[in-house]
Structure 1
Amino acid sequence: MLVASVIAVVVMVGIARFSYTPMIPEMVAALGLSKSVVGMLATVNYAGYLTGAVLITRISDLGLKVRLYQLGLVVAVVSTVLMGYTTNVWLWFILRFISGLSTSAGMLLGAGLLMSWLIKNNQKSELGVFFSGIGLGIVLTAVTAELIKDPFTWDQQWVIYGLVALALLIPAWRWMPDYRACALPKRGQPLVATSAVDSYVSCNWRTSAPALAMWSRLPFWWLLLNPCPSFRGRAGWSGIAGLSATPACWLWDVFSRRWGQWLALYLAYTLNSVSILMLIVNTSLASVMVSSVIYGVSFIGIVSMMLAMVGRAFPENPSRPMSRLTFSYGIAQMMAPAVVGYLADVEGNYTNGLWLTLVVMALGVLMLHLARRAKEREAEPALSP
């Protein structure tokens, strides 16, 4: 089941979304695409991802979620293949938007369905293994790009990516469990077996009514500041980040289990800030590569731990709070390239954009700290005799 979930992430996130990164220089060289078109293709993909996140917040029917998750797998393959069969920019925009919808299905519906399955089957409600699929997907697209960039034209390369996705879709579909049997009772009813509750406690969470009530009142905007800097333009660099992110998901789960999720999140944010600061101080190849490794390790930890955190707090419908957090993620992905690009045009470099990223990162840590304090204050009355 876990293998099927990881493969699905590779298809719907790794290939459907990140295959565009190594394809940028190929399409620019072959077709002479302008920077504005290249940027817009990325933006509409983010827009599709954001739209999917919003729509998922409105869905509570488990059967519909499963059908949309399966549809996302098919759409990931089709939207990738069709990119190689047209040179119409508007059709590209539509395909990248649809691909973004598929990515939101893989990330959010997939994570929510997996969380429900883990709870229902008395397993540790952790998503580290699941999110390792992002890193694996980035590595797969980077390696594939190196293998096919010389023998094949840009349009053939898109088709090859789609065929790889199709090959992976088969085991992801065949090994997919019956998620419809994982429906959990609504809040206020008995939630899960004792062993599952014990697994919650081992992750520093409790499923008592006061704790759930507290989380329903906790302002989500305190958790929404999470800048997502990325390194674009070179397939090899994206592969380095993905390679480091792959084992990091599991390692962050181990760390948070031992030392607590709050400390793990603080550490992940600190490491992410270090990776940004390194690019400000030194832009040599060695510095960029080390920064990419640290970034890959830290960003996947922030994403997986934060989504798992809110997913455990709302086990009867984990996709909804996950989608709310992802909504802000999508906004940042749409806004940040435009803001940083403007600053780069004005200043002639990315230094000010990186400093701005560090400022937003600091605000995110502050919001995280406020959320922790609010949780502790809300929990005190429930713990008092």
Structure 2
Amino acid sequence: MKTIETIRVLAASVIAVVVTVGIARFSYTPMIPEMVEALGLSQSVVGMLATVNYAGYLTGALLITRISDLDLKVKLYQLGLVVAVVSTVLMGFTSNVWLWFALRFVSGLGTSAGMLLGAGLLMSWLIKNNEKSELGVFFSGIGLGIVLTAVLAQLIKGPFSWDQQWVIYGLVGLALLVPAWRWMPDYRACALPRTGGKAGSDERSRFIVILQLAYFCAGVGYVVTATFLVAIAESIPGLSGHGWLIWLVAGLSATPACWLWDVFTRRWGQWTALYLAYTLNAVSILMLIVDTSMVSVMLSAVVYGASFIGIVSMMLAMVGRVFPENPSRPMSRLTFSYGIAQMLAPAVVGYLADVEGNYTNGLWLTLLVMAIGVGVLHLARRAKGREAEPALSG
């Protein structure tokens, strides 16, 4: 039974993810048609706004790899929460494209703080307080963020203009900040001693590099579906106008999946769980290739939501346990690889779709990358050596 303090800390962390990822990042997805209709934005501007947001996220991930001071991490984490809300609200106070670019970039920085610094700080707190060193509950905030933005978009898109909608998203984020800030523990008291000599550091460095390659493959599998799932759904007569519902289904699937993957990991081990998550992610892609019926697309969204969130949760939790003295740094290295995939893969698949008039070959290419990812994941397991897997605390 978890203590009241542990429940509050976990709740604060989850809410922070909802704010920094759900509000600051995912609110843009349902806002795209609203802004295009109201302002006549070109697809290039729409794409660039997404790209600069990813660029901000990647920049944040890269900066975090250079930070080891715990006090600075806590301050930047708190600043990231504020930035996520402010940058969202300000999107509704201007129609200047260059200011939008700046705001979306800053929003990406806030997302990296909430996700990476938040995950690292929580991992340190869990280890310090002899709790299970799992991040499934933490990453359920991603699924909740998807659900929140999908539902909120349907509620406000009729009565409010595009600029008012941005402000509403920001105000919802501000309201959520209150419990997130109030229940936040003193992370400064969670510093852990550094471990491992040079030989151990070299071995772990090889391990993390191979794991980065595997995570890059997972990033391709994640972003191609995230980018084109709604477009595929909208192209189906029976699902036209219901793309938001597909996105909602993916979010509903992702929300409890993190916790279920933690349970599976305890029972069967983290490597078996990762192999299964990668395989399921590949299956969700295959389903979009072989059958675009409503049932198949909906089921693909369910499998996709459950699998991608499991990969993210288990990968980052794994490196957090391997590098407990500074978990945010390896988490950021993995995320940087994941982010590179998010910037490259949609461009490649989008180009193939323009040339061929459909997404089939792009999806086959994505499926191939995920298959390679399973192989690289196995290499990472071998690089880890014959040592036993780190025990889950608690």
TM-score under structure 2 normalisation?
Answer: 0.89
Partner SS, residue 144 of structure 2:
helix
1:101 pairs with 2:109: yes
Q: Deviations over 1:273-328 (max 9, x none)?
A: 11000000111222111101100000000000001001100001000000000001
Cα RMSD (Å) of the superposition? 1.6
8 A contact 1:223–1:371 mirrored in 2? no
Counterpart AA for 1:218: F
* Cα offsets for 1:26-56 (capped at 9, x unmatched): 1111111111111111111111111100000
1:206 counterpart residue number? none
2-side partners of 1:361 and 1:217: how far apart? 21
Map of 1:162 onto structure 2: 170
Query: Post-superposition shift, 1:340?
Result: 0.9
State the partner residue of 2:52: 44
The 1:145–1:270 alpha-carbon spacing in structure 2 relative to 1, beyond 3 Å, is same
- The partner residue of 2:37 within 29, 46, 54 is 29
Deviation >3 Å, runs of 4+: 209-214
What's the CA shift string for 1:172-231, capped at 9, x where partnerless?
001000000001111159xxxxxxxxxxxxxxxxxxx98776424425134433222313
Letter in 2 for 1:121: N
Partners of 1:260 and 1:90 in 2: CA distance: 48
Quick one: which of 337, 340, 344 aligns to 1:328?
A: 337
Aligned residue-pair number: 360
Q: Which residue number corresponds to residue 205 of structure 1?
A: none
Residue of structure 2 equivalent to 1:288: 297
Q: Confirm whether residue 221 of structure 1 aligns to residue 210 of structure 2.
A: yes
What residue is the counterpart of 2:367 in the other structure? 358
Q: Choose from 310, 320, 334 the match for 1:301.
A: 310
Give how far 1:140 is off: 0.3
Whole-angstrom CA distance in 1 between matches of 2:190 and 2:56? 28
1:93-129 Cα shifts (integer Å, max 9, x gaps):
1111111111100110000000000000011100000
For 2:372 and 2:293, locate their aligned partners in 1 and report how far apart those are by CA, in whole Å.
Answer: 28
Pairing of 1:9-158 with structure 2 (within 5 A)? 9-158=17-166
* Structure 2 alignment gaps of length 5 or more: 1-8, 232-242, 389-394
Give distance in 2, aligned partners of 1:50 and 1:147: 32
Q: Do the aligned partners of 1:14 and 1:136 also contact (CA within 8 Å) in 2?
A: yes
Q: Which amino acid aligns with 1:220?
A: V
Q: Measured at CA, do residues 211 and 305 of structure 1 come closer, stay the same or move farther in structure 2, by a change above 3 Å?
A: farther
Secondary structure of 1:54's counterpart equals helix
The residue that corresponds to 2:185 in the other structure is 177
Alignment-derived partner of residue 266 in structure 2: 257
- Does residue 349 (structure 1) correspond to residue 358 (structure 2)? The answer is yes
- Equivalent residue, structure 2, for 1:198: none
Aligned residue in 1 for 2:3: none
C-alpha distance in 1, partners of 2:230/2:200?
41
Specify the code of the residue in structure 1 equivalent to 2:303: I
Percent identical among aligned pairs is: 80
Name the structure 1 match of 2:238: none
1:246 & 1:356 partners in 2: Cα distance? 28
